[in-house]
Structure 1
Amino acid sequence: MRLFSTLILSMLLAVVLPMQGRAADLKIALAADVSSLDPHYLNIAPNVAFASHLFDALVNVDADGHLVPGLAVSWKPIDATTWEFKLRHGVKFHDGSPFTADDVIFSLDRPATLTRSPGPFTSYTKQIVAKQIVDPYTVRLKTATPYGPLALDMSAIFIVSKKAAEHATTDDFNSGRALIGTGPLKFVSFRRGERIVLKRNDDYWGEKAEWDKVTFRIITSAAPRLAALLAGDVDVIEAVPTADIARLKTDPRFHVEQKISWRTIFWHLDQLDRPSPYITDKSGKPLAANPLRDPRVRAAISMAIDRRALVDRTMEGQAVPASNIVAPGILGYNAALPVEKYDPQGAKKLLADAGYPDGFAITLHGPSDRYINDRQIVQTVAQFLNHVGISASVETLPLSVYFGKARTGAFSMSLLGWGTLAADFGLRTLLGTPDPAIGWGSWNWGRYSNPQMDKLVHASLASVDQQARDTYAQQAMAVALRDHAVIPLHYQYATWAMRKGLRYTARTDEFTFAHQFHADAPMQKASALK
């Protein structure tokens, strides 16, 4: 009898094992388009998350936002302006060629050569003034001044093969010709806006993916994405529609994972000294001056927004009101900054004090397919502004169009979501006085400039001591937010829904990594079948 049971169990395992990953396929529906496969071309989350399947950085980030070894096994400061990175031995690129220090230097130089990037990675590389190869597996990076967070910067730069990419264009990456990385998956095919197919890298240096093949479907609309999961067309969806989360949690066919995101959803405000492109008086005549340059007007806009109602209704409880541009727990988060109190009467008074007792007209812009409920967020905020005399209309655009326009200052008030592991990084990129020479302000859509904030951010970035860095970053945050440089709304929850039998560790960076999905243990399945 025992022999018979053993035979039955062996047969069951033979059936179950191929379904448990190593001989199985995984189908994932992504909520945002992957606009480029070039890992150095456009610094937006969908592109970065996808590149992590094909490429590695020197430093990786775990699910909780902590730095962990990647292609570098260790890093340390040699002196105040020099960091040494020890590279991992035995790593191979997808074409079988060895990974060495030459590939690191090439990859750090490459972002600066992509001069037409709509969202460059140069803010992570500009501070490096010299690079030294000590030996094939040791690299030293020198900065002009003391710079504490260099390791964090290195988590944002993917290492490409110098051999494959030295003469490659972004089109060569998008076609797959130059897509030679060291990551856990290899490129198979790419149909822009539709699907991307990858296969397992059996020579990966780290934990190998369970899946022979992974198909990513681009489904930017929430309802069709959910429908694909319910129909079994995909195994996993990200950015689950907020209205459906509670139902999915109680459906035995599915499993839901959630985590508070590092992403802050906020408004950029045009602060250039000229008539703003989408602001008029209420008869449609352009205003002679830009009212958003007045801090009282910016404060009035912030006070007009009921963040609690926005979270409870528009986000259906799947968010937390924001007071900073980084989430709680992130270095530089300033707990002394309260969530702006909803005060429509106070907002009206500030508008009157600023010379706009009857308000003005403005068009709010946002993406239609990037953030959770992004279109509804823009519409809700427009309603709040209408209540205080600002006549707000709404225009939302596909992400592929929206980012390109917003970064040129084409809008007066534009919605953005940003996630970072440190406030000084976020402030440098989002609100630092734009300076291409040092990579500051590359996402400063409103062209805000405040020398006091810049000085504090510089001091924070120069601090090797974490406590000093945190203090400077908090002070910089206070300067920017009390000036209403941007208008924070909320931190959204990151949510994944998947078929029963799959598990995923929810990530604070919201990234969906196919190689980190796991099937339930075969032995547990076999026991259940018994």
Structure 2
Amino acid sequence: MKPTAPHARRRARFAAPVAAAIGGLLPAALPAAVSAQSLSLAVAAPPTSLDPHYHTLSPNNMMAEHFFDKLVSRTAQAQLKPGLAESWRMVDDTTWEFKLRKGVKFSDGSEFTAEDVITTLKRVPNVVNSPGSFSIYTRAVIGTEVPDPHTIRFKTSGVYPLMPYDMNNIFIISHKVGENVATADFNNGKALIGTGAYRLSSFTPDDRVVMTRNEDYWDEKPDWKQATYRFISNDGVRVAALLSGDVQMIDVVPPADIPRLRSTQGISFAETPSLRAIYLKLDVAHDSSPYITDSGGRKLATNPLRDLRVRQALTMAINRQGIVDRVMQGAALPTGQMMPPGANGYVPDLPPPAYDPNRAKALLTEAGYPDGFNISLLGPNNRYVNDAQIIQAIGQMWQRIGVRTTVDAVPFSVLAQRQARNDMSAMLIGWATSGEPSTALRGVLTTRIPEKGFGTTNFSGYSNKQLDALVEEGLRTADDAKREQIFQQAMRVGMEDVGLVMLHMQKNIWALRGGLTYEARADEYTTVMGVGAAK
């Protein structure tokens, strides 16, 4: 079957000889000869590691895109296309065959073969201390066959139609680094051997990655011989870096700065609707949630978030359109589900929850909380567009129904650690889908069953047996239309049960200077390969 479209924290540095020459700040105005070869850009969110299997996180994935490839790639609008595999087909109900691209070399000169794929699949489930495992994408594979070095067959326990989508999420490493290679060896550069368009020159955590073009890259070579990929979480500093010429491109353009940038000569934009949903997780795992107390500050004997009426009250108390209009400056779309309009798995008659604070108060009273309660709302202050402002706004809205809210905005690196140990009562987070709904359902809404690849980032304790059963049914349904209907039903079940408090879908906006162009991506990835030099 041909590809079908559907839709540590440790300070470390790896430096190649060229790193010293380019490790400092780039000057505001680059000489023309240099600018024709070099690119400097800034993104809002730093990766937590350069290990491509450590954390299912967009900043990590878009960094890995530069150094590694996957068997199946995807277009800017999230449609599947060949990557390291030229084609794939279902041989029978329990076998997928992938034909691997010949002539591909790793950055150390070794040839890419099926042996590298097998090493990768063995490593993924065993990455030590992974805060978000990629095993969600490998659990269906129960065995492999290698008829020849450039053919690999994946064996499954039953019909599994989503194998190409899963293989779109796994970066292939060299068998030479081994299946037991430590995450630290990717961060220090020792194991960073890939087939990607760039090679690592240096990595300074929370500051920058410097990369050099792989002149032996198998696909179309990018325009830039050298690139500095900076991490600037502060919106104002990131915009100032663009305006001063320190960088030539930024992502996550702050909505409040868009009018000023549009009126600035030499600044252009690239934008597209996002696949990222922003939502709240609610703790239902603890008998007594750690950051919920009564009006006197005493721990409650029972966890109110386990009561559907309380969860309904919290979601009804949020004015989503108000957040989109006033906090996001229109750069978002209110949502009541995890898929954007028009995408595979979108449920047309599942609108955003209506804003109804009076009904929310009544529900709290019905649930036995007429005087409300105290809660802490955790969220990042450097990951999503206006994330800290969003939780501030929600805190104020919850206050109006008697849920007295303390807002706790922290760096995303801290939030990720707290999420992994479920150290929260309510938390703002985001999820970018791969263009179809199974990854969101499996990753966030299914019961956490690691050995099945279910609930890999569901640390809040949410569990719904009906939803789990529907997802399992969808995963073994070969008919595309029927599978979509099943996943739509699963999404409806999870949303009506308020498994998550959905907020909005982001819009992806980049700003560039100097006549550069960028192919805006629905997955919000910012890649050097997508930046075109001025003509």
The one-letter amino acid of 1:314's match is V
Alignment partner of 1:255: what SS? strand
The one-letter amino acid of 1:116's match is N
Deviating above 6 A after TM superposition, structure 1's stretches of 4 or more consecutive aligned residues are none
- Residue 246 of structure 1 and its aligned partner are, at CA, apart by 2.1
**1:406 & 1:169 partners in 2: Cα distance?**
23
Of residues 393, 401, 419, the one that matches 1:388 is 401
The one-letter amino acid of 2:84's match is L
- Residue 122 of structure 1 and its aligned partner are, at CA, apart by 0.6
Are 1:145 and 2:158 counterparts? Answer: yes
Summarize the alignment of residues 510-529 of structure 1 with structure 2, pairs less than 5 Å apart: 510-521=524-535
Of residues 177, 194, 197, the one that matches 1:184 is 197
The CA deviation string for residues 148-206 of structure 1, in whole angstroms up to 9 with x for no partner, is 11100001100011113455311111000110000001110011111110000111111
Of residues 467, 488, 493, the one that matches 2:502 is 488
> Structure 1 residues 466 and 17 mapped into 2: Cα distance closer, same or farther (>3 Å)?
farther
**TM-score, normalised with respect to structure 1:** 0.93
The one-letter amino acid of 1:384's match is M
Corresponding residue for 1:7?
A: none
Q: Which runs of 5+ in 2 are unaligned?
A: 1-30
Q: Tell whether the 8 Å contact from 2:379 to 2:429 is kept in structure 1 after alignment.
A: yes
Corresponding residue for 1:440?
A: 454
Report the RMSD for the aligned CA atoms in angstroms. Answer: 1.3
Of residues 214, 221, 224, the one that matches 2:227 is 214
Summarize the alignment of residues 125-164 of structure 1 with structure 2, pairs less than 5 Å apart: 125-164=138-177
Aligned length: 504
The one-letter amino acid of 2:379's match is G
Q: Tell whether the 8 Å contact from 2:120 to 2:179 is kept in structure 1 after alignment.
A: no
**1:487 & 1:202 partners in 2: Cα distance?**
47
Q: Tell whether the 8 Å contact from 1:20 to 1:520 is kept in structure 2 after alignment.
A: no
Alignment partner of 1:91: what SS? coil
Q: Tell whether the 8 Å contact from 1:385 to 1:392 is kept in structure 2 after alignment.
A: yes
- Residue 407 of structure 1 and its aligned partner are, at CA, apart by 2.2
Are 1:84 and 2:84 counterparts? Answer: no
Are 1:338 and 2:346 counterparts? Answer: no
> Structure 1 residues 303 and 178 mapped into 2: Cα distance closer, same or farther (>3 Å)?
same
Corresponding residue for 1:524?
A: none
Of residues 279, 303, 316, the one that matches 1:266 is 279
**1:95 & 1:245 partners in 2: Cα distance?**
43
- Residue 298 of structure 1 and its aligned partner are, at CA, apart by 0.4
- Residue 35 of structure 1 and its aligned partner are, at CA, apart by 1.6
Are 1:294 and 2:302 counterparts? Answer: no
The one-letter amino acid of 1:37's match is L
- Residue 329 of structure 1 and its aligned partner are, at CA, apart by 2.4
**1:500 & 1:466 partners in 2: Cα distance?**
44
- Residue 323 of structure 1 and its aligned partner are, at CA, apart by 1.2
Of residues 493, 500, 503, the one that matches 1:479 is 493
Corresponding residue for 1:509?
A: 523
- Residue 20 of structure 1 and its aligned partner are, at CA, apart by 7.2
Alignment partner of 1:415: what SS? strand
Of residues 237, 243, 256, the one that matches 1:230 is 243
**2:117 & 2:88 partners in 1: Cα distance?**
14
**2:326 & 2:362 partners in 1: Cα distance?**
27
The one-letter amino acid of 2:432's match is G
Corresponding residue for 2:512?
A: 498
Of residues 77, 80, 83, the one that matches 1:67 is 80
Corresponding residue for 2:22?
A: none
The CA deviation string for residues 427-482 of structure 1, in whole angstroms up to 9 with x for no partner, is 11101111111111111122111110011111111122110110000000110001
The one-letter amino acid of 2:371's match is D
Corresponding residue for 1:462?
A: 476
**2:32 & 2:326 partners in 1: Cα distance?**
44
**1:248 & 1:17 partners in 2: Cα distance?**
23
Q: Tell whether the 8 Å contact from 1:101 to 1:139 is kept in structure 2 after alignment.
A: yes
Corresponding residue for 2:368?
A: 355
The one-letter amino acid of 2:93's match is A
- Residue 520 of structure 1 and its aligned partner are, at CA, apart by 2.8
The CA deviation string for residues 237-289 of structure 1, in whole angstroms up to 9 with x for no partner, is 00011101122123221111111110000000111250000100011001000
**1:321 & 1:470 partners in 2: Cα distance?**
22
The one-letter amino acid of 1:490's match is H
- Residue 142 of structure 1 and its aligned partner are, at CA, apart by 1.0
Are 1:323 and 2:336 counterparts? Answer: yes
Q: Tell whether the 8 Å contact from 2:88 to 2:98 is kept in structure 1 after alignment.
A: yes
Corresponding residue for 2:17?
A: none
**2:352 & 2:181 partners in 1: Cα distance?**
47
Q: Tell whether the 8 Å contact from 1:165 to 1:178 is kept in structure 2 after alignment.
A: no
The CA deviation string for residues 2-39 of structure 1, in whole angstroms up to 9 with x for no partner, is xxxxxxxxxxxxxx995674xx1000101101220110
Corresponding residue for 2:70?
A: 57
Corresponding residue for 2:436?
A: 422
**2:32 & 2:150 partners in 1: Cα distance?**
39
- Tell which deviates more after alignment, 52-61 or 453-462: 453-462
Are 1:36 and 2:49 counterparts? Answer: yes
**1:186 & 1:18 partners in 2: Cα distance?**
22
Q: Tell whether the 8 Å contact from 2:122 to 2:179 is kept in structure 1 after alignment.
A: no
**2:266 & 2:286 partners in 1: Cα distance?**
56
**1:257 & 1:389 partners in 2: Cα distance?**
42
